[in-house]
């Protein structure tokens, strides 16, 4: 029997990653887009906490490591080309590092000239992500 991991086209872009769109299982809001490699997806399946490959730091990153705002894994879907994932999750707290419930918290003005914020932050990122001076 073939594992689902063997059916996903991680290497299509040459970096061993696949885009993973995260959706709130209850509200159906799109929360964020991340990238997963085999290890990140396996850790997600094993732990029940959504984990990504952090491209900027070249390491695994489990959502909520710093903020405590985890994404509880619910289910996994794959697109018809087997080269992108849809992860249904239950967010615990705000998903976006800006404090907003979703990373998609801005909407284009009807004029197309600017963005308007459509949700309020749930936490102050300066307090949550304090850095050592």
Q: Which helix (H) or strand (E) covers residue 86, if one does?
A: strand 85-91
* Pick from 34-43, 77-86, 88-97, 123-132: least confident: 123-132
Fold of 4-95: Ubiquitin-like (UB roll) (3.10.20)
- Binding site for Zn(2+), by residue number, is 80, 96, 103
pLDDT of res. 13 = 72
Can you give the residue ranges of every domain in the chain?
4-95
For residue range 56-105, list pLDDT tens digits in order: 999 999 999 989 999 999 999 999 999 999 999 999 999 999 999 999 99
Model pTM?
A: 0.90
pLDDT of res. 11 = 81
- Binding site, by residue number, is 80, 96, 103
Q: Which helix (H) or strand (E) covers residue 41, if one does?
A: helix 38-47
pLDDT of res. 132 = 42
Smallest Cα–Cα separation from 71: which of 87, 55, 50? 50
For residues 116 and 109, is the Cβ–Cβ distance under 8 A? Answer: yes
* Pick from 2-6, 41-45, 69-73: least confident: 2-6
Integer Cα distance of 72 and 1 in angstroms: 27
């Amino acid at each position: 029997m073939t594992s689902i991991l063997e059916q996903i086209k991680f290497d299509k872009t040459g970096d061993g990653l696949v885009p993973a769109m995260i959706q709130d299982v209850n509200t159906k809001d799109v929360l964020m887009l991340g990238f997963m490699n085999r290890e990140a997806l396996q850790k997600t399946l094993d732990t029940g906490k959504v984990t990504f490959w952090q491209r900027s730091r070249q390491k695994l990153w489990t959502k909520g490591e710093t903020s405590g705002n985890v994404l509880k894994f619910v289910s996994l879907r794959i697109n018809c080309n087997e080269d992108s994932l849809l992860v249904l999750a239950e967010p615990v707290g705000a998903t976006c590092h800006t404090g907003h419930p979703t990373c998609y918290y801005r909407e284009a003005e009807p004029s197309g000239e600017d963005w308007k914020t459509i949700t309020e932050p749930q936490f102050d990122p300066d307090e949550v992500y304090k850095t050592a001076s």
